[in-house]
Amino acid sequence: MKLKVRGVGKNAGIVIPKHVMTRLGLKKGDAVFLTEAPGGYRVTCGDPEFEKQMTHARKFMKKRGDALRELAK
């Protein structure tokens, strides 16, 4: 999808079409994340660093679930 860079005051912005925002579950004021990817950049609505941390947390919770349940009592 081709997007046009537009001036926003002294900055620049990209207008995301409404149907794309709806599909991604975005609304005005939400954050999106720009990360480097092979051959360019990737725009996502989820924080890649947070997702990485959650992957590690899920592995830990799966491995140590019994101990975590005991601690929760």
d(CA 13, CA 16): 9
What is the mean predicted confidence (pLDDT) over 55-70? 88
Give the number of domains in the chain: 1
Do the domain assignments include residue 42? yes
Residue 12 bridge partners (DSSP): 7
Range of the domain at 45: 13-72
Do the domain assignments include residue 8? no
pLDDT score recorded for residue 50 = 75
pTM of the model: 0.51
What is the mean predicted confidence (pLDDT) over 16-45? 88
pLDDT score recorded for residue 7 = 95
Do the domain assignments include residue 23? yes
What is the H or E stretch that residue 14 is in? Answer: strand 11-14
Query: What are 40's two structure tokens?
Result: 């360019």
Do the domain assignments include residue 25? yes
